[in-house]
Structure 1
C-alpha cells in the first residue's frame, strides 16, 4: 500500500486495540488507498489450494507477493517459482516450522494475507494476522468450533481488520443469476432452499491413498483431512452449499439462521474401502470412524424459511451441490437446470433455465467473464480473489465478511451437537449481536 498514508495500518491497529476501538469507527477511512496502487499479499499454506491462489494473483497487475509460508519447503519453493515466472520479485520464504507464520506476519510490507492451511490452523492464523494489521482472506471453513467462530468475530471487531471467507461457490454464474431473480421477486417470497456438498473423495484418493492409507506423509489432504472422520460426526464442509443460499435469503442482512436439526447415518465406506484396498490386516483396518456417510440438516430462519443441507464425501456419487431455490411463485433447481414459474409455465412442466440465465446474468460475469474463463473452478476463483484484492484497495468491508464466515462455519459444530442428540434442534448464536436486523446487503450489490 502507499507510503504516503497518514498512519500505517499496523500502527492504527495497535492504537485501536489498546483503546478498544472496533469496526464501528470505520478505520478503513483512516488508511487511504488508491485503486491504481498495488496490493501486497502474503500466503500461509501453499499446497494445492494455496498454490492455485498464488497462480491466480501472480497474474494480476495490481498484486505483489512479498512472502510465502509453508511447513513444507518444497511447496514454498514451487510457489516461489510461480511468482518469479510471472515476472514478480522473488518472495521471501518462511518454512521454519509450524509457527513461522508469525514471523511472516510481523512484516510491515503486507497489506493482506491468504490462509489456505488445514482447517484447525485457520482461526489462530487469522487472529494473528488481524492483530498485526492485515486483511485476511480465509479458506473454507473459517472455523470448526463455536469458540473459533467467536474468536474471528471478536478479533475483527477489536482490531477493525476485515476477515473475508474465500467462498468461491457464491460466484457461480447460475447462482448469481438466481440471486438476481430472487432480489427482483421472480420467485415471489422465499420459502425454501436446498444445498449440500456431495462429493466422492474416496474414489479420487483424496481421503486415502490407493493402498488405503492416510495420515502424515500420505498426501496433500489425506495427510490431515481424513482424521476428522475418526472423532467427528456432522456436516464438516457446509459453506460451498450454504453460502449461495445465505445470499438468496439475506442471512445477516434482514434475516438470520435460528435452529439446526441434523441426523446422521451409519458409517461404512471408509472402513470397507481400507479393507478392500489393503486387506483385513491393514494397520488402519481396526479404526472406528465416527463420521457417518451422510449427514442431513434442516435449518430454520428468522423470516420463516427452511433450508435442507446435505453432506457426504464417502459415498459413491457424482459431485453435486444440490442447489434448489423455491418461493411462493416458483422454483429453480440445478439438477436439471430448469425452472417452473406459476402463471408462466404449463402445469407440472419444467422449462430450461437458459433464457433466464441470459436475462438475469450477473454484471460481474458480463463484464469480466472472459478474464475469468481461464481461471480455476470454471472462473469462480477469479471473482473471489478479485473481491479480496478490491476490498483491500478500497479499504472496505469484503462482500463475504467475518459474520458470514462465522454463521456459515458454525454449521459444523452445531450439526455435530444436534446429531449427537439424535436430531434435537440446536440454536445458532447471533454473531452480529442483533445487527442482522438492520445490516444492508454487501454481496453482489453493484
Structure 2
C-alpha cells in the first residue's frame, strides 16, 4: 500500500480541462528543436533541423511527467483488464513476484475472468474480485480503492478508454500496444497523465529484449560513433491467426485492415530504435513519410482457406500488405519502419542501428564496428555480452516465459519501479510517440507518401537528457 497518496484532481475538473485542451488539436510538427541537444554517448549526427515544426504546442494544463517517480510502497496491487491470449500469458509473471497482489480481474467473457481467478488462487493468493458484466465493467474495477496500477490487455480499440478511466480514478496504467489509435486520443492521454499525476505507459516488451538492451548500452557507450540511422519492423505472418475462429476473441484485429492503410503496429520496431537515439531524451522525431503496397494478401488467404459462407467474405481489405515509413529526427537521423502481417515471410523486427563507426543488424544478430572488425565481414554479436549486457539480463540470465524472456524482464522492472518509488523507464510521452505512426502513417499513405508532422508530445522536454531503459541498478 502506498505510504502517501498525492492529490488527484477531481474527475469533473480533469474532464473540463481536457475538453478545453482538446479544441483545435492538429497534426502539425510542434516546436523548433534546440541547438545541439545531446545525451551521454549520443552525439548529434548532424546539425539540428530548425525547419522542422512550426505549429503551436497545445497549452500544458499540468506539470510534465518526465522524471516523475512512482510513490514508494511495500506491495504493488494491480487490476488486470483483459484475459485473452496476452493477459493469460502475462499473469504468471506478475504472480511470480511475491510483492505483487492481483486484487481484481476484468473480462466480458466470464469464463476467462474465472480462469484468471484460478491462476491467482493457484499461486496461494486470495481470489481477486471479478468484473465480467459487459464491455465497460472495467470502469468499476478502475474505481476500486485497492489498486495501484491497471494492466490493460484488450483489443486495440478499447485501450484508450480503459487507460483514461484508470487515470481519472487515480490509477497508474500500463497498456499493451498500441496505446491508442487516434492522434487526439494520444494527446488526451498525455494531458490526463499530466493532470492526474498518474503514469500512462506503453508496455513495450521489445525494449527489454536482450539484444535491444545490449545495443542500447553500446550506443550510449559510443561504440557506434555518431548515430545516423536505424530500422525496426513488425513483419510477422499473422494470416492464419487473424482468420482463426478461436485465437482472437472475434475478428477485431483483422477488421483494422478494413479501416487503416498504414502501419497498424509500429511499437515493437520503433520503440527500441527510438531508445537507441534517445528520442524524447535529447532528440525527437519530427516527421513520417509512409508508402503502402496494394492490399492483396488477406483476400488471397481467405480465397484459399475460408468457406464461402464465412463472415469474412463481407470484408474489403484496404490496409497495405507492407507499409514502409521513413521517420526523421530533429538531429537529422533517419529511422525506417516496416509493417507486414498479411504475406508469407519469416518473423523479423529488423532492429538495426548504424553510425559513423559501424552497424548492428538483427535476424540474425550480427555486427561490424571499427576498429574492432576488419575485412568487411560481419562479426559475432555475442562477443559483446560480458561487457554490455544490461544488468537486468545479468541478474535474470534465464528469465521464464515467452518472447525470449523479455516479457518477464519488462514486468519485473515495472513492478520494481512501482514498488521502490523509481522513475519508470518510459512514460506517456514515449507511449504517444511510439504509437503516433498508427494514424500518421495512414494519413501519409492516403496522401501518396506526403510527410506528416509528428507532434512534440513532451512540449519541449525532449531537449533535456534524462534516463530511460538504460537504467542504473537500484541499491
Contact 1:230 1:288 (C-alpha < 8 Å) held by counterparts:
yes
Q: Could you list the runs of 5+ residues in structure 1 that have no partner in the other structure?
A: none
Residue 185 of structure 1 and its aligned partner are, at CA, apart by 0.6
Of 76-85 and 277-286, the range deviating more from structure 2: 277-286
- Counterpart of 1:437 in structure 2 is 463
CA distance 1:77–1:169, shift in 2 (3 Å): same
The separation in 1 between residues aligned to 2:115 and 2:430, in whole angstroms, is: 33
The separation in 2 between residues aligned to 1:175 and 1:283, in whole angstroms, is: 40
Of the candidates 147, 168, 193, which is equivalent to residue 205 of structure 2? 168
The separation in 2 between residues aligned to 1:282 and 1:121, in whole angstroms, is: 26
Residue 79 of structure 1 and its aligned partner are, at CA, apart by 0.8
- Counterpart of 2:242 in structure 1 is 207
The 5-angstrom pairing of residues 41-120 of structure 1 reads: 41-120=78-157
The separation in 2 between residues aligned to 1:26 and 1:410, in whole angstroms, is: 18
Q: Could you list the runs of 5+ residues in structure 2 that have no partner in the other structure?
A: 18-60
Contact 2:11 2:168 (C-alpha < 8 Å) held by counterparts:
no
Residue 334 of structure 1 and its aligned partner are, at CA, apart by 0.8
Of 286-295 and 73-82, the range deviating more from structure 2: 286-295
Residue 392 of structure 1 and its aligned partner are, at CA, apart by 1.9
Residue 339 of structure 1 and its aligned partner are, at CA, apart by 1.1
The separation in 1 between residues aligned to 2:406 and 2:144, in whole angstroms, is: 30
CA distance 1:422–1:221, shift in 2 (3 Å): farther
CA deviation string 1:198-221 (max 9, x = no partner):
00001xx21102xxxx6xxx5425
Residue 131 of structure 1 and its aligned partner are, at CA, apart by 1.2
Q: How many residues align?
A: 427
Residue 445 of structure 1 and its aligned partner are, at CA, apart by 2.1
TM, length-normalised to structure 1? 0.91
Residue 344 of structure 1 and its aligned partner are, at CA, apart by 2.8
The separation in 2 between residues aligned to 1:25 and 1:175, in whole angstroms, is: 25
Of 376-385 and 145-154, the range deviating more from structure 2: 376-385
TM, length-normalised to structure 2? 0.86
CA distance 1:122–1:325, shift in 2 (3 Å): same
- Counterpart of 2:403 in structure 1 is 377
Residue 166 of structure 1 and its aligned partner are, at CA, apart by 0.7
Q: Which runs of 4+ in 1 moved over 6 A?
A: 25-29
Residue 359 of structure 1 and its aligned partner are, at CA, apart by 2.5
- Counterpart of 1:402 in structure 2 is 428
The separation in 2 between residues aligned to 1:331 and 1:181, in whole angstroms, is: 11
Residue 357 of structure 1 and its aligned partner are, at CA, apart by 2.5
CA distance 1:66–1:281, shift in 2 (3 Å): closer
Residue 420 of structure 1 and its aligned partner are, at CA, apart by 0.4
The separation in 1 between residues aligned to 2:161 and 2:313, in whole angstroms, is: 33
The 5-angstrom pairing of residues 288-437 of structure 1 reads: 288-370=316-398, 372=399, 374-437=400-463
CA distance 1:51–1:286, shift in 2 (3 Å): closer
Residue 253 of structure 1 and its aligned partner are, at CA, apart by 0.5
